[in-house]
Amino acid sequence: MKIEIPERGSKEYYDEYLYILTKYKKLINNPHIKITKLTNESFRLCLLSIIMTILMFIIFIINTDNKVFLYLGIFFILLIILSVIYYYIITTNINKLRSNKGLITIEFNKDKIQYITKDKQLDILWDDIKYIIINKYTITFIPYEINKTILSINITYKEELFKILKKLKKEDLIVK
């Protein structure tokens, strides 16, 4: 049983996948945490930094004797710059992931999952998988250990994957 993926996923798919990669430890402990896009998290960080910058400068203008608020305002300006750089890095990584070409084949059997591209083949044992998490754009196979491969499939293959999981009797791994 296999799923063939001829084209790369959407920006939203990779954005959500990168979020999952950054929140791996939290997902192991609680697979029900809300999954969003990593760019949204970066935007919230920037927005919070802008609000705090404005607040610090207003407090400094009101109380010019206390220079701490000026320094905090400058600190939050630096956080704004860092969050813009972070957003740029995220979007660059998403574009790199989307630019890869070629067919991806994911083969499922009773013992393992094989991820096959023209350049590589990865084997993931079913015993290594703790959860299969269904999100808005991704279906992600979360392993027990961080040094194992995290496999993600676009949500458009949900029905095919469910049929395969049912045949292999692996539905108990699914977390919605």
pLDDT of residue 100: 83
Predicted structure pTM score: 0.84
Crossing angle between the packed helical segments 11-22 and 38-62, to the nearest 10 degrees:
70
- Over the stretch 10-58, which tens digit does the pLDDT of each residue have? 899 999 999 999 988 888 888 888 899 999 999 999 999 999 999 999 9
131-135 CB contacts, 8 Å cutoff, 24+ apart: 131/27, 131/31, 131/173, 131/174, 131/175, 132/165, 132/170, 132/173, 132/174, 132/175, 133/20, 133/27, 133/31, 133/35, 133/175, 134/158, 134/174, 134/175, 134/176, 135/16, 135/20, 135/35
Other beta carbons within 10 Å of 14: 25
pLDDT of residue 120: 87
Q: Is 176 a residue whose pLDDT tops 80?
A: no
- Over the stretch 45-97, which tens digit does the pLDDT of each residue have? 999 999 999 999 999 999 888 889 999 999 999 999 999 999 999 999 999 98
- Rounded to whole angstroms, the Cα distance separating 82 from 88 reads 10
